[in-house]
């Protein structure tokens, strides 16, 4: 099962990719417009108040929370409540994730879809929380058809049409130090967005116009990253286009001002796709 997962250390097995669903319907105010059985459940979740204790927690743990404008914060609070009602959270080996963990994971996952439609996460069946990094033994499929049997340390995994695994110790450390530009929730949920059209190829559902600019830009950045000439991005992004999107997403939300300065074209594409501007938020909040 693990061999077909997409995560930091395992290449996506595209042979398991299913056929594409319809493209993204992007309407940031359409949270309640979904045409499926979840509608009533979502509506119920939105009738409950967003607890003040969650607001305090998020303000304390996530630097970007206090940078959100009123409308964006309101939208985030809706998304978080629906996400928590909609997705099941499970722990590994008897571990029970706390409410605080669930709220923080949900908030970071929902930041990616602040400007997108909630149905991007339709096939996130559950979130599996491990208290620590998971060590995976057994064959791993690497680039070039190589199969490795070594031990892999996993901080997260995203499965096509399946759950997302998050190692809590890694995430909580990363959330405390956003300037390092690493965040396993941003990384794994970027893979889920990418997989939304049936395969993880670095091209999530987007308009034809954006796609036309996206694909050549991604190829060029991938090449520069492999040559060591894309300093704001983790070298792991050079693995393949799917990992590039995931790594670029981490930088877009964690170190947006630096990314915009060093990679303005990539930043502009991500801003168009995600329909939000974290660098502008950060600049406004520090002025
Ligand atoms: Zn990855």
Residue pointed to by tokens 């008897």: 94
pLDDT for position 245: 97
Q: If DSSP codes are grouped into helix, strand and coil, which group holds residue 201?
A: coil
CA distance 59 to 141: 40
Tell me how far the alpha carbon of residue 191 lies from the centroid of ligand 1, in angstroms.
Answer: 7
Boundaries of domain holding 62: 2-286
Examine the pLDDT at 112 and tell me if it is beyond 60. Answer: yes
The pLDDT tens digits of the residues spanning 196-206 come to 988 899 999 99
CA of 2 to the centre of ligand 1 (A): 14
pLDDT at 132 > cutoff 60: yes
Integer Cα distance of 197 and 187 in angstroms: 17
Question: Comparing 65-79, 139-153, 154-168, which segment has the lowest mean pLDDT?
Answer: 139-153
Q: Give 237 Cα–ligand 1 centroid separation in angstroms.
A: 8
Compute, in angstroms, the gap from residue 60 CA to the centroid of ligand 1.
Answer: 27
At residue 40, the pLDDT reads 75
52 CA from centroid of ligand 1 (Å): 34
Enter the pTM of the model: 0.84
Ligand 1 centroid, distance to 186 Cα (angstroms) = 10
**Tokens at residue 131, please?**
């208290």
Residue 88 Cα to ligand 1 middle (Å): 22
Kindly report, residue by residue over 171-193, the tens digit of the pLDDT: 999 998 999 999 999 999 999 99
Torsion of CA 16, 20, 23, 29, to 10 degrees: -60
The alpha carbon of 44 and the centre of ligand 1 are apart by a number of angstroms equal to 34
For residue 93, the model assigns a pLDDT of: 86
Q: How many domains does the chain have?
A: 1
pLDDT in tens, 22-69: 333 334 445 545 545 567 777 888 888 899 999 999 999 999 999 999
The enclosing domain of 88 has a CATH number of 3.40.390.10
């Amino acid at each position: 099962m693990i061999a077909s997962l997409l995560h930091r250390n395992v290449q996506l097995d595209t042979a398991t990719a299913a056929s594409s669903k319809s493209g993204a319907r992007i309407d940031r105010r359409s949270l309640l417009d979904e045409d499926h059985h979840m509608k009533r459940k979502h509506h119920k979740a939105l009738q409950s108040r967003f607890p003040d204790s969650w607001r305090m927690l998020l303000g304390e743990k996530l630097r970007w929370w206090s940078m959100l404008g009123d409308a964006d914060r309101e939208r985030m609070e809706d998304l978080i409540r629906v996400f928590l009602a909609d997705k099941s959270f499970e722990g590994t080996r008897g571990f029970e994730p706390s409410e605080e963990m669930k709220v923080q994971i949900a908030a970071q996952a929902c930041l990616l879809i602040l400007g997108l439609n909630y149905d991007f996460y339709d096939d996130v069946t559950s979130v599996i929380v491990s208290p620590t990094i998971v060590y995976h033994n057994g064959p791993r499929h690497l680039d070039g058809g190589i199969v490795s049997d070594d031990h892999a340390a996993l901080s997260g995994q995203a499965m096509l049409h399946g759950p997302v695994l998050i190692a809590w110790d890694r995430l909580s450390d990363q959330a405390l130090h956003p300037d390092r530009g690493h965040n396993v929730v941003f990384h794994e949920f970027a893979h889920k967005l990418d997989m939304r059209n049936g395969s993880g190829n670095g091209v999530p559902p987007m308009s034809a116009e954006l796609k036309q600019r996206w694909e050549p830009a991604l190829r060029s950045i991938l090449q520069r990253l492999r040559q060591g000439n894309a300093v704001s991005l983790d070298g792991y992004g050079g693995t393949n286009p799917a990992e590039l999107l995931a790594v670029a997403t981490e930088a877009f939300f964690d170190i947006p001002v630096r990314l915009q300065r060093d990679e303005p074209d990539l930043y502009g594409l991500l801003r168009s796709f995600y329909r939000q501007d974290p660098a502008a938020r950060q600049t406004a909040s520090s002025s």
